[in-house]
Structures are given as C-alpha cells and as structure tokens.
Structure 1
C-alpha cells in the first residue's frame, strides 16, 4: 500500500511592504556596488531588508564600507529579513510594477515573497538578521567634526571624484595608491582630491572649506611633514561617483575622522573605512604654476583628440 504523503508545512503570511519599482531598482543597483559576489561569508552577498511604519530600509556591507538606504513604502507590520542580492536584482530586472515584499512564517523555515502583481517569487530565508555583519558602530557625525566636515552638491562631488578616477593605481603592492586622497589644500584650507599611479597625477580642488586630521603612524609617532587626509578606496570612489550622478543639486554631507568617512544625504547613509596607509607627499613633485604656456581647448577639440588617440595608442587606457 502506498504511504500517505506527509502534510505540507503550514505557512502564514506576515507583514508586507510595497515600494515603487524605479526606487527599488536604483537602490539595488547601488547596493550591488557594495555586496561581495565571491566571498566565504554568505551574508556578504545578501541585503538586509527592514520595514516599519512608512519606511523600507536596505543595507549592504563588504566589511570595508556599509551602505544604508531608506525608501518610502506602504507597510503592514514590521519585519527584518536577509535576502540574496542576486535573487533580488534578478527579480527587479523582470518586474514591471510596484513590488510587494511579504514575510511568510513557516514551521521549518521562514520565507520571503516578491511580487509585482504578475510575477511572484518565493525565497527561503536561511540567514537570521542577527548574523548580518555590522563592521562599524553607529557613527556620530557630531563626534567626527574634529576632522574634515564639508557639504557638496552632486555636481561638485562628481567633479571631485570622477575627474581623477583614471589616475588611481591598480597595482596591489602599492595599496595606498588604490584610492582617492582627500586632503586640505595647503595655505588655503579648502578641499582637495589627489590621485596618482606613480606616472600620472590628478589634483582636483574644490572651494568647500575642509580640515583633516592625521592618524598616528604605525610606530605611534605623529607625522608633521606631509599633508593630512584620508584615502578613500577605489570601490567606494566608484560608488560615490554613481551616487553623485543621480544627486544633481541635492546636498551630500561628508564627515571624516582619521580612519572613516561618513556620507549622508536624504535617505542615504554610507560609512567608508579608509585605506590604512601613508599617502606620498604629492606636494614635493608638483611643479609650480607657470604662465609660460597657456592653451584653451574646447570640448569638441578634446573629443576629437581623444578619438584619434584611441585609434593610435594600443594597450593604454585613456582618461
């Protein structure tokens, strides 16, 4: 006689949140620049989703930076879930309308259901929210004002980080060059970004006042013969460029101490751990300004020059 099938485990629907598709797609794109796809810690490839009241919070980390985004949502109840970013991003590429995220409680495992009204995906939850990494304590912007604190518009931040991006070094042995050095312009007290790979160097100045403090050296001594500042890793630089492109004139507030950079904006909170190293004293190799040669080129002329150079220079990246 055939055996009777075991009863299916009971699953009950719990709290849910409905959010606009475009906002969720933009958030997933930004979180994708943070999550580690190849890692030995499964939680680093996931996104923590929390909803309560009229707000949906998404969080991702790679242990070197943590991004937290707040979206407006219509919610019923509150929930705390850890969902695979790969599965979430794949669903959002196929979705066509507002997305509803529902927490479903079961006897064996909890589940989450993603639905846009036409497509419905149910995922099993295997990582409890308390196991989601929290590499940074909740930073206090007021306590970080001893370092560099400044506010930039999206256009200013894009200019600051994007113009020198092509000069960031890719050499792993010189890890302290794998980022953008935020510092203070000597004798002026304004913000400056420096990038170099040892052959090319970009120095981008901004009119925003900024003052940086320097952390102690490895031997505990305090250096006074080099500029103070913070080295922002290249992955964080790329994320800041993506955020600045969409920010427009919306303000981005930066607060830095000796090791961390806190970036805040409406609905956004980003904590970045700077590269623990000594950036070279770029002022020693910077030639003084000279009026011996001055050239004014239009954007169209530079574009034509780049088109010709890309066809004649093989094996070289063109900024």
Structure 2
C-alpha cells in the first residue's frame, strides 16, 4: 500500500469513523480502522459490531492494499499535523507496520491483519427510499433529547420511527421518550417508505448519522429491514443494528382533553426558568409554575440555597393552577421550539401536559408533572 492524501480530507473521514470505535474493547481488532487503498481513493472502515461506518476520500494511490491501524492514534496524529499538508501512507514489505509521513514528521504504527477485521454482514434490506438530509435532521433534532439513557428499559434507548397518516397525508414519524417526557415529530413520508416496518434506531446510531448530515448533507438513501438500517450519503455508508424490542403504545400517554391553555414568549419563558432553577440544588431541579389570567409565576425553593420567584406575561385560559416540572426537561424541550411562542395545554397538577409550537403542527411534546 502506498498513497498520498490531503490532510483535511483524511481528517474529515477519520473524525467520523473514530467515533464508532469504542475506547475500551477486549477485542484488539475493533480498536482499529481498516484502510483500503484502491484506484483514486482511500476507504476507511470502523465497527463496534453493532454499528459500522465506511467512508471514502479521494487519494493519489501508487499501490493498492488493505491494512488496519489503531483508529484513535491515527486520528490524533492527523489532527495534529500542519494544516494544508499532504499525508503519505505506506505499508512496509512485511506488512507489520505502516509509515505516516507529513512535512517533516514520520510515524511508524503497528498493524493488525485486515483479514481479522469483521466483515459487515450483507443482508436484504427490503425497504429503500431517499429523503432530504434536512428532514432526517429534523426527525433527530426534535426528538433525541427525550431518548432514555436507562439501560434496563433498552427499548427506549433510541428513536422509534414508523409510517403514519395525518388526516389524508402520509407521514414519517419519529418518537422518543424516557418515561418523564415524550417528543413526537413528523416529516413527509418519502416515496418508497410506505412499507417501512416500525423500528427503533439506537442512540449511538442517531448521533453518528446526525454528524454525517452536518458534514455531508444532500440527500440520504435509507434502507431498512426488521433488524438493520443503512444510511448512504455521498461519501459514507453507515450500517446499524436496530434495537430488538417493542416500543410502548405512546399514543395512550398523549392527552386529548387538556383545556387549561397557556401561551408564553418562548425565549422569555426559557430564560426565566433557567434563572429560577439556579436555586434548585436537588437532582430533579424542580420549578413550580403558578398560572393566573395574564401572568405565570415561576418559583423554586431549596432548604440550602433559598428561594427564587420570577413573573412573566402569559395568555392563560382556565382556572388558577399550580404545577411543577423538572426545569431541565422544560429547557431541553424549549431549545427545539423554533417559534416565538410556546403553548402549554394542561388538565391538572397531576396530569400530563401537552406542549406545542403554534407555528409547527408537525411537532408535539408531553411533559409529566412532578410534586413540588
């Protein structure tokens, strides 16, 4: 193997593939990135056995070949090389080392045989469709803050994606919940996605495809089977196992008859909740909202640090109501509200609250209240 590649191009792909590699693994080959030099390009592959990423970059290849080197070490080397430099990669005759050259720097890295690297399983991915990267980004951004991190309820550790009808219109819906909050978003159903099975895309996969969208953009080809999903972009292919579980019937927790409605300025409300929550020392960071006709009073009390109260304007219809929420949950959700106003629909201090962006009917959030 002998090739030359621009540092910026190599770093771009290494940034993505090294994210897939686990820092701690008992299988040495999984710490490595596979390098495949072929005519006009360098391919880089990394896997953790559940998630695999293949990225390609243009390169001047003098001699083709395949090897594997430590992914994080190679990334750190390339990251620290001078900007604008050309990187030479050459495997010695015995194949036991790879030499990395750039400017006046020379690094010799040990290799492991490429035939030890796990093969990415080929599987019939029956449903195939193409969607704008912006729609996939929206599906992720508006829901992933609500993904559960509790490993015992593994079926909540991802975004549930399925096709649905919104009136006469077919939509692709993403849902995430951790049991305390729920996020639901819809985008137009891409042509060819009508037969998509209900799937749960793991949290790590969600994070990696989102980074690829930022880096590459354009359109994304999505291929799905009941157990795997594949995302194909211009210079990269991400293949992931899906979570093997059944997502709960989330529709049952979305209330429909909440008649106490409040409308606030999103930015003003977010800043007030953030300020008042400073006083909360408990892990839950509880704040209480007290609603009256034209105002909402936000308050927090702590035995150690005192009390905070702030009042903001609100349009409110309903009887006087006091309700408590986890401040972090409110702030996470408000970050995804694009409109100037946010709408809270409540029934009582103990019932789930529905939160909407009045300017975006495709998104809906549910917050569980807490006792304060």
TM-score normalized with structure 1 length = 0.81
Task: Confirm or deny that 1:98 pairs with 2:86.
Answer: yes
Task: Confirm or deny that 1:67 pairs with 2:53.
Answer: yes
Q: Give the corresponding residue for 2:271.
A: 304
* DSSP 3-state at the match of 2:179: coil
Mapping of residues 248-259 of structure 1, within 5 Å: 248=217, 250-259=218-227
Q: Which moved more, 1:289-298 or 1:307-316?
A: 289-298
Partner of residue 206 from structure 1, selected from 187, 206, 209 = 187
Report the Cα offset of residue 245 of structure 1: 2.0
Q: Give the corresponding residue for 2:314.
A: none
- What CA distance in whole angstroms lies between the structure 2 residues aligned with 1:47 and 1:309? 47
Task: Confirm or deny that 1:17 pairs with 2:3.
Answer: yes
- What CA distance in whole angstroms lies between the structure 2 residues aligned with 1:309 and 1:135? 50
- What CA distance in whole angstroms lies between the structure 2 residues aligned with 1:37 and 1:161? 25
Partner of residue 160 from structure 1, selected from 114, 117, 139 = 139
Mapping of residues 1-319 of structure 1, within 5 Å: 15-96=1-82, 97-106=85-94, 110-125=96-111, 127-137=112-122, 139=123, 144=125, 146-147=126-127, 149-153=129-133, 155-186=134-165, 188-209=169-190, 210-214=193-197, 229-248=198-217, 250-288=218-256, 293=261, 295=263, 297-298=265-266, 300-301=267-268, 304-305=271-272, 307-308=274-275, 311-314=278-281, 315-316=283-284, 317=328, 318-319=331-332
Report the Cα offset of residue 27 of structure 1: 1.2
Task: Identify if the C-alpha distance between structure 1 residues 185 and 77 changes in structure 2 by more than 3 Å, giving closer, same or farther.
Answer: same
* DSSP 3-state at the match of 2:188: strand
Task: Identify if the C-alpha distance between structure 1 residues 133 and 289 changes in structure 2 by more than 3 Å, giving closer, same or farther.
Answer: farther
Report the Cα offset of residue 150 of structure 1: 3.7
Counting matched residue pairs gives 280
- What CA distance in whole angstroms lies between the structure 1 residues aligned with 2:208 and 2:276? 29
For residues 34-65 of structure 1, give each alpha carbon's deviation from its aligned partner in whole angstroms, at most 9, with x where no partner exists: 11221111111110000111010000001101
Q: Retained in 2: the 8 A contact 1:111–1:123? A: yes
Runs of 4+ in 1 over 6 A off after TM superposition: 289-292
For residues 205-262 of structure 1, give each alpha carbon's deviation from its aligned partner in whole angstroms, at most 9, with x where no partner exists: 1123333444xxxxxxxxxxxxxx11111111111121122234x1111121211111
- What CA distance in whole angstroms lies between the structure 2 residues aligned with 1:297 and 1:247? 35
Q: Retained in 2: the 8 A contact 1:161–1:240? A: no
* DSSP 3-state at the match of 2:2: strand
User: Which structure 1 residue ranges, 5 or more long, are not aligned?
Assistant: 1-14, 215-228
Q: Retained in 2: the 8 A contact 1:147–1:258? A: no
What's the Cα RMSD here?
2.2
Report the Cα offset of residue 17 of structure 1: 1.5
